[in-house]
Amino acid sequence: PMPRSYVTIIIDNVIRESASGLAVLCEIDGEEVWMPRGQFAEPETVDVGESGGFQVTKWIADEKELEYR
Protein backbone atom coordinates (compact mmCIF):
# COMPACT_ATOMS: atom_id res chain seq x y z
CA PRO A 1 0.00 0.00 0.00
CA MET A 2 1.07 3.57 -0.63
CA PRO A 3 2.31 5.47 2.40
CA ARG A 4 -0.30 7.87 3.68
CA SER A 5 0.36 11.54 3.16
CA TYR A 6 -1.05 13.87 5.78
CA VAL A 7 -2.08 17.51 5.64
CA THR A 8 -3.12 19.91 8.39
CA ILE A 9 -6.71 21.15 8.57
CA ILE A 10 -8.17 23.64 11.03
CA ILE A 11 -11.15 22.37 13.03
CA ASP A 12 -13.13 25.09 14.83
CA ASN A 13 -14.91 22.63 17.09
CA VAL A 14 -15.37 18.89 17.49
CA ILE A 15 -19.13 18.83 18.10
CA ARG A 16 -19.87 15.18 18.85
CA GLU A 17 -18.92 11.61 18.22
CA SER A 18 -20.96 9.18 16.12
CA ALA A 19 -22.80 6.44 18.02
CA SER A 20 -20.15 3.95 16.87
CA GLY A 21 -17.32 6.26 17.89
CA LEU A 22 -15.81 5.77 14.43
CA ALA A 23 -16.45 9.33 13.26
CA VAL A 24 -16.60 12.82 14.71
CA LEU A 25 -18.81 15.72 13.64
CA CYS A 26 -16.59 18.76 13.20
CA GLU A 27 -17.26 22.42 12.57
CA ILE A 28 -14.92 23.53 9.79
CA ASP A 29 -15.23 26.97 8.20
CA GLY A 30 -18.81 27.29 9.45
CA GLU A 31 -19.88 23.91 8.06
CA GLU A 32 -20.58 20.64 9.85
CA VAL A 33 -18.48 17.82 8.45
CA TRP A 34 -18.34 14.16 9.51
CA MET A 35 -14.72 13.02 9.69
CA PRO A 36 -13.79 9.33 10.06
CA ARG A 37 -11.47 8.84 13.04
CA GLY A 38 -9.31 6.49 10.98
CA GLN A 39 -8.32 9.37 8.69
CA PHE A 40 -6.64 11.34 11.51
CA ALA A 41 -2.90 10.90 12.07
CA GLU A 42 -3.59 10.65 15.84
CA PRO A 43 -7.25 9.61 16.28
CA GLU A 44 -6.92 9.40 20.08
CA THR A 45 -6.31 13.18 20.29
CA VAL A 46 -9.63 14.05 18.67
CA ASP A 47 -12.04 14.72 21.54
CA VAL A 48 -15.34 16.58 21.72
CA GLY A 49 -14.70 20.27 22.37
CA GLU A 50 -11.23 20.22 20.82
CA SER A 51 -10.21 22.76 18.19
CA GLY A 52 -7.12 23.75 16.26
CA GLY A 53 -4.91 22.13 13.67
CA PHE A 54 -5.25 18.39 13.08
CA GLN A 55 -3.36 16.13 10.71
CA VAL A 56 -5.63 14.13 8.42
CA THR A 57 -5.00 12.16 5.26
CA LYS A 58 -4.74 14.26 2.13
CA TRP A 59 -7.29 11.86 0.64
CA ILE A 60 -10.06 12.77 3.12
CA ALA A 61 -9.22 16.49 2.91
CA ASP A 62 -9.64 16.34 -0.87
CA GLU A 63 -12.71 14.10 -0.61
CA LYS A 64 -14.44 16.58 1.74
CA GLU A 65 -13.06 19.57 -0.19
CA LEU A 66 -11.37 21.03 2.89
CA GLU A 67 -8.70 23.69 2.89
CA TYR A 68 -5.38 22.49 4.19
CA ARG A 69 -1.73 23.35 4.40
Task: Report pLDDT digits (tens) over 19-64.
Answer: 999 999 999 999 999 999 999 999 999 999 999 999 999 999 999 9
Contact status, residue 25 vs residue 33, Cβ threshold 8 Å: yes
Q: Record the pTM.
A: 0.91
Q: What single DSSP character describes residue 40?
A: B
Contact status, residue 15 vs residue 27, Cβ threshold 8 Å: yes
